[in-house]
Amino acid sequence: MKPNLTVAIVCFLIGLNACQNPNTTHSETRSSSITSVVDVEQKVETLLKQMTLEEKIGQMNQYSGFWDLTGPAPSNGDAAKKYEHLRKGYVGSMLNLRGVENVRKIQKIAVEETRLGIPLIIGFDVIHGYETLSPIPLAESASWDLEAIKKSAEVAAEEAAAAGINWTFAPMVDISRDARWGRVMEGAGEDPYLGSKIAFARVQGFQGSDLSKHTTLAACAKHFAAYGFAESGREYNTADVGTSTLNNIIFPPFQATIDAGVRTFMNSFSELNGIPATGNSYLQRDILKDKWEFDGFVVSDWGSIEEMISHGYAKDNKHAAQIAANAGSDMDMESYLYVNELADLVREGKVKQAYIDDAAKRILRVKFELGLFEDPYKYCDAQREKEVIGQQAFHDACLDMAKKSIVLLKNENQLLPLKKQGQKIALIGALATDKTSPLGNWRIAAKDNTAVSVLEGMQAYTGNQLTYAKGADVSLGNTEFTVEVNINTTDKSEFPQAIAVAKTADVVVMVLGEIGYQSGEGRSRTELGLPGVQQELLEAIYKVNKNIVLVLNNGRPLVLNWHQEHLPAIVEAWQLGTQSGNAIAQVLYGDYNPSGKLPMSFPRAVGQIPIYYNYKNTGRPTLPAPGKVFWSHYQDVENSPLYPFGYGLSYTTFEYSSLQAQAVSDKEVTVSVTLKNSGKLTGKEVVQLYIRDHYASVTRPVRELKGFELVSLEPNESKEISFTLTEKELGFYNNQGDFVLEPGDFSIFVGGDSNAKLETKITL
Ligand code: BGC
C-alpha cells in the first residue's frame, strides 16, 4: 500500500485530521473539545492495530531538539540521525524545542512524512514560567498560598503553550531535607503535607480542567522516587530509604499529583535501595501503575536508561533497554537505547510485546487527550505566540506571587518597613543591580537582563535619597552549564567605596546571597554561608553602620547565625523571577506586609543536615541533668534549627488562643482556635496545625503538619479558625504499606510555625 493511502485510511479510522494542511492556524481549526475516555481508548486501540513494532517503539523514543541541551550530549546520536528517525516515525516526542516556527517545522515531519502521521508531544522544562518568570518553586512554596501557586502554573502553561509546547517536566515533587542539594530550589521543601497540597495545585494549574485546550500543558510529576534523598546532598547520589519514609514522606506528593490527574511521571537518575529508579519495577509497575492505577506514561530522565550501566546495574546498552522497558519506563529521553535495541529484545523474547503495546498506548492516550490528533498544530499559532508571551497580566501574576513568597526572618525595633521619605538609604551588593540572577535556575526560555532589579524596584520610591555601591561580586563563575566557583570571589577593591556610602546612610540595605545558577541541578554545596567575600563585606559594613537590612537572594536554606545575632532585619527574598525588584521594594517599603513562611528548616550548622521539623523523638530525647552526656544531641550546637519550618514574621503581630479539639468519632476530630491581629497593621498569617501521635506500631514524628489556613486580619480583629482532621490526617502507612489509623493519644498544636506552643490533647 502506498504510504499516503495508509495515512488517509488511518486518519479515517481514528477520526484524526493529522493530515490537514500544516499551515492551518489555530483560528481556522476546530475548537477543542473534551473527548470522552471511551472515545480515546477506542481511538488508541484502533491506531495501535495499524502500527508496526518499530512504530510502537518509536512512540517510546524522545529526542532533545537541536538548540538547548539540558543534560550531557549523548555519545551515540547526532542531528542527522534524529532527522532520519523522525521521518521513519521512530520518534514519539521531542524536548527542548521551542518557538512556534521551530515546533511547527519538526511537527510537520512527524505529521506529513511518516507513514501514520502521528503527531509528536513536545516537552520542555517549564518549571517556574516560560519567558515571564515566577519565583523559583521553593520560594513560591513559602507563600503557602495554593491559589497563587496554581495561578502561577496556569500562567506558565499559557505562555509556554503559546510557544508550541504541550508538555512540561514539572512539578518536581521531591521532598528534601538537605539544603546542600542544589535542587531543593525546584521543589516544595521538606514536608509531605505542604508538598502534597502544592503538588496538587501545580498540576491543576498546568493541566487546567481540559487538557485539550491550547492554553494548558500535560504535567509531569518527577523524579519518581527518592531523588531528593541523595546521600550527603551530592547530586545524583544514591538514596537508601526505609519503607516508612518512602510511604509517609516521599510518596504522598506523588500520590497527590495522581489525585489531581497528572498525565505523566518522570523517573529518577538516582538509585533507590540498590536499584536505579529507571529500572525499578517496584516503583514504576507495582506502586505507580498497579497500586495507584496511573494510566498516563513514565518518561526516563535524561539518559538515565544508559546510566544504569554506570550504576553497575546493566551490563551494556541492550541490557539497559531491557531492564528499563520491563520495569515500566515508557519513554526513553535521549539514551537512544529503545530505538536501537528494543525491537531485537522483543524478537528475542526478552521484553514482552505486551509491555511495548502498553507503553505505546499510554503515550498515544495522552496525545489524544491533548487534542494533538485533532490538530497537531494547535500550539503553533504564530499570531498567538506574539500576542500572548510577555503579557502584562502574566507580569501582574508573577509580581503577586513574588510578594507572597518573601519571608521576613527578623525585624528588630521595627527597622522595616522603611520610611517612604526622609531616610538616607545605602543599597549595597552586586545582586542589587543584577537583572539576570533573580530569574533563578531553570529559565531556558527567559532572556538575560529581564528581571526588575532591587535598585530599579527601590527607585520607584522617590521620597528617599538612595545611593548604590557594589562592594563585591558574588561569584560570577556560574553559568547555565558551567561552574567555575573561584572566579572573582576574592576581589575586595570596591569595599572602601561601599563602606563610605554606608557610613553616611540612615539605613543600609544589603542584597547578598547566591546567584541564580548557584542552586539547581548539579549545584550541590558543602558550605552554606554567603559565597565569595560577601560575608567579609557585610561585616566590614556592619563596623560602620549597624542599621542593616539584609535582603537574601538564594535558592536554598543558608546558615545565618552571625546574621541573626547581629543584624536588626533579615528578609528572605530567594530568587523571585521577572518581577523580583518590584516585589522586594514593595515589601521593604511596607506596601505589602510579608506573609511567607519557610518551607524548609534553616540549620545552625551544615553538620545538622539532614534537619527537618518532623523528626522522631529517639529513646533519649532530653537532657537528663546539667552536664550529662548520654542523650541525643551535639556537643557544639543545639539540636534545633536556626529558623524552623513554617517560620516567618509580619509587620504586625498575631496572638493565638482558645485552642479546642473534640473527637466527633473514632476517626474524626474537630479543632478550633482564635487568631487575633494584635499589632497595628493589616496582615496575613498562615495558621498551622500539627499533630503528634504519641505511640503507634511504627513510631511517629514529634510533629506533623496536618492543616493550614491563610487568614487576613485588620488590626485588633479576631477570627475563629476551624479544622477537621479525618482518617487521612490522623493515620499513617505502616511497614506493610497499609494505611492505618491506630487508636491512642494525640497532641494537637496550632500556631504560626512548627514550634507552635498552644497544645491540646485527645484520645481516639
Ligand atoms: C532533569 C530533569 C529534566 C530533564 C530534561 C534532567 O537533567 O533531571 O528534571 O526534566 O533533564 O531537561
CATH code of the domain containing 573: 3.40.50.1700
Out of 562, 580, 602, a domain closes at 602
- Ligand 1 atom closest to 269 (CA): 8
Please compute the mean of the pLDDT values over residues 253-276 and round it to a whole number: 98
Residues 693, 584 within the same domain: no
- Ligand 1 atom closest to 223 (CA): 9
Is 722 a residue whose pLDDT tops 50? yes
Do the bridges between strand 271-272 and strand 167-168 make them parallel or antiparallel, or are there none, so unpaired?
unpaired
Among protein residues, the one whose CA lies closest to atom 12 of ligand 1: 70
Out of 565, 586, 602, a domain closes at 602
Query: What is the Cα–Cα distance from 525 to 744, expressed in whole angstroms?
Result: 42
Residues 420, 562 within the same domain: yes
Number of domains in the chain: 2
Supply the pTM of this predicted model.
Answer: 0.95
Is 13 a residue whose pLDDT tops 50? no
What is the pLDDT confidence band of residue 238, given thresholds at 50, 70 and 90?
Answer: very high
What is the pLDDT confidence band of residue 5, given thresholds at 50, 70 and 90?
Answer: very low
Q: What single-letter DSSP state applies at residue 643?
A: B
Q: Does residue 229 sit within a domain?
A: no
- Ligand 1 atom closest to 186 (CA): 9
Residues 581, 705 within the same domain: no
Check pocket membership of 301 for ligand 1, CB cut-off 6 A.
Answer: yes
Query: What is the Cα–Cα distance from 447 to 465, expressed in whole angstroms?
Result: 31
Nearest 10 degrees: Cα torsion 587, 589, 592, 597: 30
Question: What distance in angstroms lies between residue 170's CA and the mean position of ligand 1's atoms?
Answer: 10
Q: How much is the CA Rg of the chain, to the nearest whole Å?
A: 27
- Closest Cα partner for 648 from 57, 141, 7? 141
Ligand 1 binding pocket mutation candidate from 67, 173, 301, 524 (most atoms within 8 A of CB): 301
Is 30 a residue whose pLDDT tops 70? no
Query: What is the Cα–Cα distance from 396 to 139, expressed in whole angstroms?
Result: 17
Check pocket membership of 71 for ligand 1, CB cut-off 6 A.
Answer: yes
Q: Does residue 308 sit within a domain?
A: no
Please compute the mean of the pLDDT values over residues 422-445 and round it to a whole number: 96
Q: Does residue 524 sit within a domain?
A: yes
Check pocket membership of 151 for ligand 1, CB cut-off 6 A.
Answer: no
Active-site residues, by number, are 301
Which residue has 536505579 as its cell numbers?
276
Name the residue range of residue 566's domain: 394-602
Question: What distance in angstroms lies between residue 304's CA and the mean position of ligand 1's atoms?
Answer: 10
Q: Does residue 536 sit within a domain?
A: yes
pLDDT tens for 587-627 read 999 999 999 999 999 999 999 999 999 999 999 999 989 98
Query: What is the Cα–Cα distance from 397 to 390, expressed in whole angstroms?
Result: 11
Q: What single-letter DSSP state applies at residue 31?
A: P
pLDDT tens for 293-324 read 999 999 999 999 999 999 999 999 999 999 99
Cβ within 8 Å of residue 663, ≥6 positions away: 669, 762, 763, 764
Check pocket membership of 174 for ligand 1, CB cut-off 6 A.
Answer: no
pLDDT tens for 661-712 read 999 999 999 999 999 999 999 999 999 999 999 999 999 999 999 999 999 9
What is the pLDDT confidence band of residue 14, given thresholds at 50, 70 and 90?
Answer: very low
Q: What's the whole-number average pLDDT of the chain?
A: 93
Residues 427, 570 within the same domain: yes
CATH of the domain at 666: 2.60.40.10
Q: Does residue 190 sit within a domain?
A: no
Q: What single-letter DSSP state applies at residue 273?
A: T
C-beta of residue 571 within 8 angstroms of C-beta of residue 549 = yes
Check pocket membership of 169 for ligand 1, CB cut-off 6 A.
Answer: yes
